[in-house]
A and B are shown apart, each in its own frame.
Chain A
Amino acid sequence: MTTFDDILPEIGKVLAQENLAKLRPIIINRDLNGRIRLILKESTWKAMNKTAQTKLVKEVSACLGKHKYAPDRLLLSDSDFEAVKQDLMLFETELEPVKQGAPHFLLKDFLPEHFKNLKNLKEVTVVDRLVTETDWSTIAPLTNGPHRMVFFSIKGGVGRSTALAAATWSLAQAGKRVLVLDLDLESPGLSSALLPKDRRPLFGVTDWLVEDLVDNGDAVFGDMFAASELSNESDILVVPAHGLDPKEYLVKLGRAWMPKIDDKGAHEAWSARLRRLLDKLEAKHHPDVILIDSRAGIDEAASACVTELGAKTIFLFAIDGDQTWTGYDILFQHWRRTGKADSIRDRLQMVGAMIPDDEHAKDYFDGLCEEAYKVFCCLYDDIPAKDASGIEFNFEKNDLDAPHYPWPVRWNRGFAALQSLHSRFQDIDDDAFRAVFGELTKRIHIIVDSESES
C-alpha cells in the first residue's frame, strides 16, 4: 500500500528515464490533502509524442496509490486516458507563479546521491501546499541591527527559559542593554522570571498581534514592555507574551497567528507581522542584543522564531534522549533536503541542558556530544568538499568550536523552578551561577563582544 513517503522516490524513477528526461520544467504539486498532480507548460506537453505522453501518465499514476484524484479510475484503454490525464495533470503558461508563496525544493536535492540517473532530474520541482504558513524552509537573511539570539528546544521543560534569563542578567551586568521577548505564546512564563508581578506591563506580544489585525497595534505598543530591575548595571527590557491580566488569552491566541490581508488582497504572513513587531521594538528601545524565547517543538510558531526573524544565533537545547535526537534529525534532514542547510547551519549552536552535576556528568556529556555530532553530520560538508566560498563546514567530534559541541548548562536545584528565578537572581551567588551557567554566558559574551569590536 503506497504511503506519502513512498511517492517522491517512485516519481523520481519515472521522470529520470531517458525518454522522459526532456519533459522539463515540471512541477510535482502536493496539495493540502497530500494528493499529487504534475504541473507543466502546455507547450512542453504538446512537444511530446503520444507514446511518451501515455508512458508518463500511466507510470506516474501507478506511483501514487490513493494520493491522487479519482484513485479508483484505471487506465484500461485509450478512452480512459483523457480522464486519467485530467486527474493527474494541470497545465500552465508559466510555472514560476505556481511556486510563489509555497514551499518548494528540487527533487534532485531530495533524493540520495546514488539515485540512478539523478542528473536527469534537473528542473523537477516539488511544491507543497500546507495548512501552516511557515515551513521551516524560509530562512530570513540576518538582520543588520543588534544581534538576535533565539533559544529553542525540541522538548519543553529543559531549562531553556531559565538559561535565557541567566544570559539576560549576565549581559546586563556587563553593561549591555538587553531586550527580551517571550514568544512561547502557548506556554508563556519568561516574564515571570524577570519581572515581579507589580512590574508587568499591561499588554504583551499576543495583544499586539491581535490589535495589529485591525491596524490598532499602536494602542498597545507603548505598554507592552517593562524594565526589569534585576541588573543594576544596565537595562533589561522585557516584552512578555501577555500583560499583567491575560484576560481572554485563549481567544486572542486563536487569532495571533492570522495573516493580515488588506482589502486589496495584499497578504502579510504572521511571521512577517512578528518581524515587523521586532523591528519596531528595536527602533524604539535600541538594545545591544535581543534574546528571544521560542516555542518548543517542531511547529509553526517555533519555525517563525528559528528561521524567520533573521536571528544570528540559534541555541538548540538538548537533553540526551530519543525524542530530542529524533526531533533535531527531522529538522536537519528537512534543511538538507530542501537545500537550506547552507543558509542556517552557521547560526546553530547546541546547548546541553540540565547536565548532571555528579559522578555521571562526564559519561552523560560524552553521550550527549556523540548524539549531537551524529545529527549534525547531515549539515556538515563531506570531507574534502568545500562550499562555494571555499570554506569547509566540517568539524571533528571533539572540536570545542563545533556547533554540535554542546555548551553545558548544569542542573542545579536552586535554579530549577522558574517562578523563583526573580528572587533567586536578587541574591545571586556568583559561584553557584558560574557553576550552572558560566560556560554558556562566557560564550555568549564572546559572541556579543566580538561584534561590538568589529
Chain B
Amino acid sequence: MNADFLDAHLRHREDAELLRKEQHWANADHLYGLSAECGLKRLMLAFGMPVNPQGTPHGVDKVHADEIWQRFESYRLRHSRGALYLLPADSPFADWQASQRYAHRSNFTEIHVKPHRNGAETIFNLIRKARWEGLVP
C-alpha cells in the first residue's frame, strides 16, 4: 500500500480521541504518537523530503515520533514558509516509543497521555494551517 501521511495522521488522531474518551489510555497514547509522526512526515514532504515510489521516506527520515522532531526541523528550516511552522523546542514524544505497543496497559495513565495528546494537537494545527495555505492538499 502506498503511504498517505495526511489521511493516516487524521485517522490516527480521530481514533486516539475515541479511545481517550473511553479511557483506553495505552492505545490512545500509541495512536497520538502515530498521528504526530504522520502529520510531521506530511509536512516534511511539503517542505521537500524525498520519498521512495511508495511514498515513504528513507534513511534518517525513517523514524517514529520519538525521533522525528529534529528531522522535521531540518526540513522546516529549508523552506520559504518554514518560519511559520514552528514546533516547541522540546519534543513531548521523547518518552514515547513504538515498542510501547507491547507493554502492559497499566503503564499508561491519563497523566502519561496528556502531553502526547497536546503534541499531536499542535501538529494537527500545523496541518490545518498547511491545508489552508495549500502546502498540503
Contact = CB atoms under 8 A, between A and B. Distances in A.
Interface stretch (A196-204, A257-265, A413-421): A257-265
Interface stretch (A30-38, A147-155, A359-367): A30-38
Interface stretch (B58-66, B91-99, B128-136): B128-136
Nearest to B134: A31
B83 A31 contact: no
Contacts of A29: 132
Interface in A93-112: 98, 102
Contacts, number: 39
A258 B83 contact: yes
A37 to B, nearest CB: 8
Contacts of A37: 131
Nearest to A92: B128
B111 interface: no
B89 A39 contact: no
B134 A32 contact: yes
Contact of B133 (A32, A70, A87): A32
A127 B128 CA distance: 14
Given A31-B132, A33-B134, A264 B84 contact: no
B137 interface: yes
A261 B83 contact: yes
Q: Which of A37, A92, A131, A265 has the most CB of B within 10 A?
A: A265
Contacts of B137: 69-70, 87
Nearest to A29: B132
A90 interface: yes
Interface residues of B, number: 15
A39 B132 CA distance: 9
B92 to A, nearest CB: 14
Nearest to B128: A92
Interface string A121-133: 0000001010100
A31 B131 CA distance: 8
Interface in A63-99: 69-70, 87, 90, 92, 98
A198 to B, nearest CB: 40
A129 B83 CA distance: 15
B89 to A, nearest CB: 5
Contact of A32 (B86, B89, B128, B135): B135
A29 B135 CA distance: 13
B88 interface: yes
B83 A98 contact: no
A259 B83 contact: yes
A424 interface: no
A129 B133 contact: yes
B90 to A, nearest CB: 10
Contact of A263 (B89, B131, B135): B89
Interface of B: 80-81, 83-84, 86-89, 128, 131-135, 137
